Structure 1
Amino acid sequence: MFTGLSAFPLTPIPGNGSVDEKAFAALVHRLAGAGVDSIGALGSTGSYAYLTREERARVARIAVEHADGVPVIVGIGALRTRQVLQAAEDAQNAGASGVLLAPVSYQPLTDEDVFGLFKEVTASLSIPLVIYDNPRTTHFTFTDELYTRLARLPQVASIKIPALPDDPTEARARVQHLRRLLPHTVTVGISGDAAAARGLNAGCDVWYSVIGGSFPEPALALTRAAQAGRHEHALEESQRLQPLWDLFAQHGGSLRVVAAAAAHLGLTAHRNLPLPLRGLDTKDCAHVATVLEQLQLHA
């Protein structure tokens, strides 16, 4: 489950503020039909931090019900440990195959705060957990020492790491270093789509992918090439998608871009992000549509 392509779909939330369950179910079903290796519901692309407990529990159930047997990993991050435990319980009750936990906070967290969070959560889990290292959104940076401590906890099965060094030799050395620190039961996953080919070529086991949640075919093509040792082909596929990576960089991340793409392709309503997020303006949406056409990315 923690290898290959893990695709993270949008959780569409139209103007009325409620999750568009029909559109979300269709997104999940589409990923299952494409043959992704796992589906990541309620990740950062899934806007988990903006949803109530009840909404998150419902989204988790819909994801599992429409995944056609594909393993579903559910995000459980929240401000308070009590809320994380509740989200973990709901994910397990929904039939999730795993959970994904980022250390979310308003006040800055220490290493001991984060270790205590993961220790308490894993003690009550009956399914595997992915450590979500996303310093851009959480403003917390994991150290290698903390990785090592966390990886020894029960149920920890994978670490979702940030982008690796640009130099391929340095990237591979970094992955090899992590493997020496971690138990063989813990996989290393790359995030940051523009760095996916570099990460997979360097030896990462899984790509936790934003575009995989909207465009599974090119994401699968890149992933399968890297898995087969066709590293140049994986890099070429990533280079082909460079206009999309440029859009992510231009707009401070991927969420607004994939939201605009989903709306343009008719996969969701025009408004599909939780307020106060307003998405891209008309001009930028038109630019996204142009890039999609150039890259032949269709629904």
Structure 2
Amino acid sequence: MFRGLSAFPLTPTTESGIGEHAFGTLVARLAAAGVDSIGALGSTGGYAYLTREQRARVATLAVGAADGVPVMVGIGALRTSHVLALAEDAQKAGASAVLLAPMTYQALTDDEVFGLYEDVTRELSVPLCVYDNPGTTHVKFTDELHARVAQLPNVAAIKIPPVPDDPTAAKRRVEALRALVPATVTIGVSGDWTAATGLNAGCDVWYSVVGGLFPATAFALTRAAQAGDAARATAMSQRLEPLWQLLRRYGGLRVMSAAAEHLGLVDGPNLPRPLRGLTPQARQELAAVMTSLGLTG
């Protein structure tokens, strides 16, 4: 399941709870679009803001709405005991895999990060994807740390941060990491504006924010790269630059929240406090970009 397009949907959330019907609709749209996997409770899914009970419910809803498409469930938390409990919930819900970012308040040493994955993988019965996301976790994986973690049982994939913009540098980055991890461990790119570059450089999968709402667009780009048509994939990404600019400026979660509202798929507000949605001016800008790019699903 760690190949192709992995789409990460929004989890519509208010102070009173999860928008269950809206979330199920978002997941069902992805399954109908033919995505290769669905990532529930990633950063776009707001996992860090939800209770254990809410996260267990979201995992169950995701698996139920996915219509057989593999679902990967985020299990990141500050304490190892909490991660283990979330992993148990995800497995009980029927998740095909789990996604683990090493969340922090106190800075973690490399040995502490390794120890987290060691403790968790020891208890798992499904594959694990290592979530390398320094922008939110403030944990910076070295290649040596990735190599150590990748040797653990059940580690099947690594979700890396954005690759360099230069195609040659991106290829060197991917090849350097691939040389250090087992051949059974796939490498996937995040940072949607570098997805085409990452896929063209040899990444196996795109862990996609926009794919969670615009699966057809993300799917077409992914398949072009997988077919070896690097020029077409690059051209598709370049066309989406106005959207990439908004993601970089406002963050993927806020942009996808507003975009889902604009499409009438969710009500507002749908982000957990203290998060707030885009300003009216930013929403107008987003609406104009969606119209110009024909982004309707």
TM-score, scaled to structure 1: 0.98
**Aligned partners of 1:173 and 1:44: how far apart in 2?**
27
Length, aligned pairs only? 297
Counterpart Cα distance in 1 of 2:294 and 2:256: 15
Counterpart Cα distance in 2 of 1:59 and 1:195: 29
1:15-41 CA deviation, whole Å, 9 max, x = no partner?
x43100000000000000000000000
Query: Counterpart of 1:5 in 2: which secondary structure?
Result: strand
Question: In structure 2, what is the equivalent of residue 280 of structure 1?
Answer: 278
Distance in structure 2 (CA, Å) of the matches to 1:74 and 1:24: 14
Shift of residue 164, structure 1, vs aligned partner: 1.2
Whichever residue aligns with residue 281 of structure 2, its letter is K
Map 1:152-163 to 2 at 5 A. 152-163=151-162
1:195-206 paired onto structure 2 within 5 Å? 195-206=194-205
Q: What is the CA-CA distance between 1:270 and the residue it aligns to?
A: 1.9
Following superposition, the deviation at residue 200 of structure 1 comes to 0.0
Identity across the alignment (%): 65
Residue in structure 1 matched with residue 189 of structure 2 by the alignment: 190
Q: Any residues of structure 2 matched to 1:212-231 within 5 Å, and which?
A: 212-231=211-230
AA at the equivalent of 2:28: H
Q: Which amino acid aligns with 1:74?
A: V
The corresponding residue for 1:148 is 147
- The aligned residue for residue 24 of structure 2 is 25
- 1:47-196 to structure 2, matched below 5 A, reads 47-196=46-195
Determine whether 1:258 maps to 2:256.
Answer: yes
What 5-or-longer segments of structure 2 have no aligned partner? none
RMSD over aligned Cα atoms:
0.7
- In structure 1, distance between residues paired with 2:16 and 2:157: 33
Counterpart of 1:4, as a letter, is G
Is 1:10–1:213's contact at 8 Å kept on the other side of the alignment? Answer: yes
CA distance in 2, matches of 1:195, 1:167: 10
Mapped to 1, the partners of 2:142 and 2:131 lie a distance apart of 13
The answer to which of 276-285 and 76-85 deviates more is 276-285
What are the Cα deviations for residues 144-201 of structure 1, in whole angstroms up to 9, with x where unaligned? 1100000000000000001112211111112111111110100000000000000000
Structure 1 stretches (4+) deviating beyond 4 angstroms? Answer: none
Deviates more, 1:198-207 or 1:278-287: 278-287
Q: Distance in 2 between the 1:281 and 1:176 partners? A: 41
Distance 1:39 1:264 in 2: 22
Tell me what 1:267 maps to. 265
For 1:9 and 1:47, how far apart are their aligned partners in 2?
A: 10
Where 1:181 maps in the other structure, the secondary structure is coil
Q: Which amino acid aligns with 2:205?
A: V
State the alpha-carbon separation in 2 of the partners of residues 175 and 250 from structure 1: 26
**Maintained 8 Å contact 1:264/1:270:** no
Q: Distance in 1 between matches of 2:234 and 2:258?
A: 26
> Structure 2 CA distance, aligned partners of 1:203 and 1:23?
35
Report the more deviating stretch, 77-86 or 174-183: 174-183
Segment drifting more, 180-189 vs 168-177: 168-177
Superposed CA offset, 1:201-247 (max 9, x none): 00000000000001000100000000000000000110111000000
- Helix, strand or coil: the match of 2:82? helix
| Secondary structure in structure 2 of the residue aligned to 1:163 | coil
Paired residue type of 2:110: D
* Structure 1 CA distance for aligned equivalents of residues 150 and 18 of structure 2: 34
Matching residue's letter, 1:90: D
Question: What are the superposed Cα offsets for residues 78-126 of structure 1, whole Å, 9 maximum, x if unpaired?
Answer: 0100100000000000000000000001111110110000000000000
